[in-house]
Amino acid sequence: FKVALGNTWKENLTELSGGQRSLVALSLILSMLLFKPAPIYILDEVDAALDLSHTQNIGQMLRTHFTHSQFIVVSLKEGMFNNANVLFKTKFVDGVSTVTRFTQCQNGKIPKETTSKAKGPK
């Protein structure tokens, strides 16, 4: 498996940084998804090893290239948040789980908020 990053070819994936490995894996997965799309995808912190610019690029790519698919993405980075249509923020404070739903407008602002609470196990 060979990978080119700029003008440098890497012979082995172990030569890549964590962020570079994430980009290679995401590139491979997303190219397969373009070939044979599915209606829904679940991604769990795929941007954990990426810097902000790469996270924003992945978020923009998901939003623009996969308009007929739904993505459930777990992320702690704002680059993904800015490209989401709907956000769910979860908190667990004093034995109470709170889920807040935000609907994002086209301009990236988050005007609408809905909150629901549930008591955690005792």
pLDDT interval class at 113 (50, 70, 90): low
pLDDT digits (tens, 9 = 90+) for 9-61: 888 888 888 999 999 999 999 998 888 888 899 999 999 999 999 999 999 99
Rounded Cα gap, residues 66 and 60, in angstroms: 10
**DSSP 3-state of 107:** coil
Report pTM: 0.74
Residue reference for tokens 């005007």: 111
pLDDT interval class at 114 (50, 70, 90): low
Interstrand relation of 86-93 and 70-74 (parallel, antiparallel or unpaired): unpaired
Q: Domain map of the chain by residue range?
A: 19-80, 85-122
Contacts of 39 (CB under 8 A, 6+ apart): 68, 69, 70
Rounded Cα gap, residues 88 and 104, in angstroms: 11
Using DSSP, how many helices (H) and how many strands (E) does the chain show?
3, 7
- ∠ CA(13), CA(27), CA(65), 5° rounding? 175
